Amino acid sequence: MAIKVGDAAPDFSLPAQNGSTVSLKDFRGQKAVVLYFYPKDDTPGCTAESCAFRDQYEVFQSAGAEVIGVSGDSSESHQKFAAKHNLPFILLSDQGDQVRKQYGATAAFGLFPGRVTYVIDQQGVVQYVFDSMFNFQGHVAETLKTLQTLNK
């Protein structure tokens, strides 16, 4: 069952590209989280989406949010992907897609992992869900609008 607006975001702990373990609860009470699930490192759509988040990263930080990308790729793959594209945010390895399944960000068209972004407020409640396989820029623009609304 997919997570929707108003739901408590399921907590998780996953390995990051730098070897540390990151838990969603680490941000509770401190920052909002923009959690985006993407299919695969270094593919054209995922690169476009991740670079769009990179290009607006300072704006997200100014809005009080941390950006976290999640895919089934290994931490080593994430490390190479982040270095190649100068990605300043956290990339988490969800090998086996357990967290993706927990959030309901499952297969698009039944073929490959979906592209879904969640805005989670400081209390751990989902405030926005954007689900689009092809509107890469929309993931960034719409989540920024939501964050700016939350901060008013």
pLDDT of 94 higher than 90? yes
pLDDT of 142 higher than 80? no
Which DSSP category does 141 fall into?
Answer: H
Counting residues of the chain whose pLDDT is more than 90, the rounded percentage is: 57
Residues with a known catalytic role: 46
Superfamily of 27-150 according to CATH = Glutaredoxin (3.40.30.10)
115: three-class secondary structure by DSSP: coil
pLDDT digits (tens, 9 = 90+) for 13-33: 999 999 999 999 999 999 999
Half-sphere CA count of 74, side-chain side, radius 13 A: 3
Residues 75/90, Cβ–Cβ less than 8 Å: no
Which DSSP category does 9 fall into?
Answer: P
pLDDT of 139 higher than 90? no
What are the boundaries of each domain within the chain? 27-150
Residue 84: closest CA among 118, 46, 117:
46
